[in-house]
Structure 1
Amino acid sequence: MSGIVVRVTLHIDTAQRRARLAVRHGLAGAVHPGKTAEEVAADLVALHATDPATVHLSVAARLHRPLVADLEAALYERRSLLRMLGMRRTMFVVPAGFAAVVQAGATRAVAAEQRRLLLKHLAETGVGDAAWLQDVSESTYEALRRRGSATAAQLAGDEPRLRTLMVFPQGNQYVTSRVLFLLAAEGRIVRGRPVGTWISSQYAWSCLPDWLPEPLPELDPAAARAELARAWLARFGPGTTADLKWWTGWTMTHTKAALRDLAAVDVSLDGGETGWVLPDDTGPVDDPGPWVALLPGLDPTVMGFQSRLWYLGPHAPALFDRTGNAGPTIWSDGRIVGGWGQQASGRVATEFTEDVTPAVRKAVARAADELQGWLGGVRVTPRFRAPLERKLSDVAGTVVP
């Protein structure tokens, strides 16, 4: 007996990663008629909300029914979902009960960085200093508290200093959006109902203590980061250290610390990379069988990883914009096989980037008809436009085979 312990690293292949994504992201298997928008958001950890249409389309793709009224009730009446700044300075919709984890684990650091940057810009443009920013911020907050709900324009009318212009060589910028962004990142104000329809990107603001029945609890940042990493691994794992670092926007130090705190298990992946799973998540997931889905631009499944070759292949130039934002995609059995766009007539047009079987083509056509039907004539143009989406949206005529 030599006493040497040989550690065998678990291997999770690409087929298993695709099966996990399909099942855990609600893209395959039985449709559950009673499932709620809140449950879909929890399944995906957070719904991308930079483009307001993404929230609705992501939920509808999992529940296979239009959810506009139900989702708006969750956001603005029950307030069981919260629109907030989160990872990577990105807008998300998260379950209200998980908002404190996002705030402490990601948004608090964003707020600190944005405050430093804004103070730098105020000084460079001769607008003001920390005292000036504090005074304007407090005045804006009090104006919002008095109104209860207000647009940015209304608040600028109450606090004229919000119309102060910062003059830069590359262009000018009013402080309005920067001050409101900072107040939101600090967890003091929240975006409420949109000004217009569900695809509008302009919102009325409210003070967070008036919006939620109870204030967000103050969590320890390290514990919150571990909890955020746990949620991500449970839904997206296995993922690499670089995937988690990118998705969260953390430093490498914070990323590695969160993985250590969770006692995450390292696994080998196809292609030679090392991924991570939770200690109780090393077993296989059954193959869910064939499935297709039409996912919107910025869908959480598409945007969950930095390394996307295993489900995207070589098609990023056609399906993503130049800064890495995903356009609308067609999925089949855990990989992206094409993209879609909506024409001026409302028709959902599709194009394949991979060879697929006739059965997949028929399933995609049915999914396109389903999406087109529940949109009911509403025209959705992604905020970040990928080349293939632009092409399909500009094409007149029938669905591209």
Structure 2
Amino acid sequence: MGGQRYIGVMERRARLALRQRLVGRARAGTPEEVAGSLVALHGTDPATVYLAVGARLADSAGTVEETGRALYEDRSLVRMHGMRHTVFVFPTELAAVVHASTGLAVAARERAALLAHMAAAGAPDAAWLKDVEDSVLAALARRGQATAGELAEDEPRLREQFVYAAGKSYEGMHTVSTRLLKVLGVEGKVVRGRPLGSWTSSRFRWAVAPEHPELDTAGAQAQLLGRWLAACGPATEADLKWWTGWRVTEVRRALVAIRAEPVALDEGTGYVAEGDADPVPSPDESWAALLPALDPTAMGWRQRDWYLAQELRPRLFDGSGNVGPTVWWNGRVVGGWAQRPDGEIIWRILDEEGNGREALAAIGSEAERLGGWVGATRVTPRFRTPLERELTAG
């Protein structure tokens, strides 16, 4: 492979253990440290953020309180649309980078689609929508945070409905509030605020997005890719294209801009951040982890054979490619876990190879740790997987 340094499976797992803060000595002290190390936490399922943080904290007892503080009091973490039109939680200082690198193109498509659907339904025009938008943003500025229902009290036009895809099999009624708030979210004008209910709730309030500078798209893409490679490299071009959702030309341009270094992987050519090609030794301790559904480590790469065997995937993923709760031992997925209705954390090993007493004891300890801080809360993944359903029912 042209003299490129070879990085094998064991070194990739060592990098994962240390940089994803999963091995004991690498665990973090705060939610901000976790998010900074991982670049992005999947936020589609609200519970995932807390569970992913708790798995990586040295002291997980205060996970809920500390993560809530970071999200909704200090605003050091922000929940917003990002790569692949998916909701993530980012360090707030990355908001401008994410918006410029991945959000602008999606935002333009979303607004155009909303206007087209409204026009097809005979709904008011763009000027009307802009007037509603301005009114909503002013109401949010006054309130600080508000639900869509609360905003509709200030701006009744949010309650108006229009027919989507009239005459089609998927015809339905859309409410202006639902579509407009989504558009404002991808445009970086609003973000999700504190939810109604507990930390597992998906009934979010909305808040005006923190101010951030408008960045050049190419520069922002280079900055984001550099951050991600430092946390998750090496990665193939296919991994990078999948994670970012960019065109391959954009990925290649960003790789050149950050002077990424090519390395040889079992899958072919991969890339690391500039100066990051030196060997990384394996941690001097074994480790186990119980990671939640949609965890950024389990979902971080498109090509996953180096940490997740093909034969395990049908039971650990749903039909849309969403990973469920996973059990890890020394850098590879060996099974899955779930929480039963009575609160018990139950787990099952699917890959028995190399998993002796030490592994079982360590996994059991992690299950106890998780159960200890989750407490009376019941967590059901938004996207159910075959093994999670089986464990829950058993």
TM range (shorter): over 0.9
| Alignment counterpart, residue 335 of structure 2, candidates 330, 333, 338 | 338
1:163 and 1:366 mapped to 2: Cα distance? 50
Show the counterpart of 1:366: 365
Distance 1:52 1:333 in 2: 27
2:10 matches 1:11: no
The residue type equivalent to 1:274 in the other structure is: T
Q: Which residue of 2 aligns with 1:128?
A: 124
- CA apart distance, 1:297: 0.5
Residue of structure 2 in register with 1:73 after alignment: 69
The range that moved more, 197-206 or 117-126, is 117-126
1:53 match: 47
Give TM-score scaled by structure 2 length: 0.93
Cα deviation, residue 31, structure 1: 5.7
The whole-number CA distance in structure 1 between the counterparts of 2:244 and 2:282 is 29
State how far apart, in whole Å, the 2-side matches of 1:242 and 1:141 are: 39
- Residue equivalent to 1:392: 391
Cα offsets for 1:193-234 (capped at 9, x unmatched): 1111111111221222xxx4xx21111110000000001100
The answer (yes or no) to whether the contact 1:87–1:249 under 8 Å persists in 2 is yes
The alpha-carbon deviation at position 165 of structure 1 amounts to: 2.5
For residue 123 of structure 1, report the CA deviation from its aligned partner: 2.4
User: Contact (CA 8 Å) 1:12, 1:269: kept in 2 or not?
Assistant: yes
The answer as to whether partners of 1:31 and 1:63 remain within 8 angstroms in 2 is no
Which of these residues, 144, 158, 162, is aligned with residue 158 of structure 2?
A: 162
Q: 2:95 aligns with which of 92, 99, 107?
A: 99
More deviation in 108-117 or 56-65?
108-117
Distance 1:9 1:37 in 2: 36
How far is 1:366 from its partner?
Answer: 1.2
Alpha-carbon distance between aligned partners in 2 of 1:91 and 1:101, rounded to the nearest angstrom = 15
1:299 alignment partner, SS class:
coil
In 2: Cα distance, 1:285 partner to 1:225 partner: 27
DSSP 3-state at the match of 2:307: helix
Equivalent positions of 1:134-283 (< 5 A) are 134-167=130-163, 168=165, 169=168, 170=170, 171-208=172-209, 212=210, 215-270=211-266, 272-283=267-278
The question of 1:90 aligning with 2:79 is answered no
Quick one: distance in 2 between partners of 1:299 and 1:262? 27
The unaligned stretches of length 5 or more in structure 1 are 1-5, 396-401
Separation of aligned partners in 2, 1:41 and 1:116: 32
- Contact 2:19–2:37 (CA under 8 A) maintained in structure 1: yes
TM, length-normalised to structure 1: 0.92
1:283-305 deviation line (CA, Å, top 9, x unaligned): 11110132110000111111111
Q: Distance in 1 between matches of 2:143 and 2:29?
A: 36
Q: For residues 46 and 349 of structure 2, what CA distance do their matches in structure 1 show?
A: 26
Calculate percent identity across the aligned residue pairs. 50
1:35 aligns with 2:29: yes
Give the drift of 1:129. 3.2
Give the equivalent residue in structure 2 for 1:327: 324
1:7 positional shift:
4.5
Per-residue deviation, residues 12-38 of structure 1 (Å, max 9, x unmatched): 111111111111000114165x72110
Aligned to 2:282: 287
**Which of the numbers 332, 344, 347 marks the counterpart of 1:347?**
344
Secondary structure at the aligned position of 1:384 is classed as coil
Contact 2:191 / 2:207 at 8 angstroms: preserved in 1? yes
- The letter of the residue matching 2:270 is G
1:44 and 1:351, CA in 2 relative to 1: closer, same or farther beyond 3 A? same
1:311 aligns with 2:311: no
Distance between the aligned counterparts of 1:302 and 1:13, measured in 2? 18
Is this contact kept in 2: 1:328–1:340, CA < 8 A?
Answer: yes
Q: Is the 8 A contact 2:55 2:291 kept in 1?
A: yes
* C-alpha displacement of 1:164: 2.6
After superposing on structure 2, the runs of 4+ consecutive aligned residues of structure 1 that deviate more than 3 Å are none
2:18–2:26 CA contact under 8 A, matched in 1: no
Q: Which runs of 5+ in 2 are unaligned?
A: none
Structure 1, residues 300-326: CA drift from partner, whole Å, max 9, x if none?
A: 111111111221111221111111111
Q: Write the letter of the residue equivalent to 1:75.
A: L
Question: What is the aligned length?
Answer: 383
User: Structure 1 counterpart of 2:33, which letter?
Assistant: E
Partners of 2:30 and 2:151 lie apart in 1 by 35
* Letter aligned with residue 97 of structure 2: V
Aligned counterparts of 2:159 and 2:198: Cα–Cα separation in 1: 27
Which residue identity does 1:81 align to in structure 2?
Answer: L
Alpha-carbon distance in structure 2 between the residues aligned to 1:306 and 1:164 = 41
- The corresponding residue for 1:301 is 297
Change (3 A) 1:269 1:7: closer
Structure 1 CA distance for aligned equivalents of residues 128 and 193 of structure 2:
27
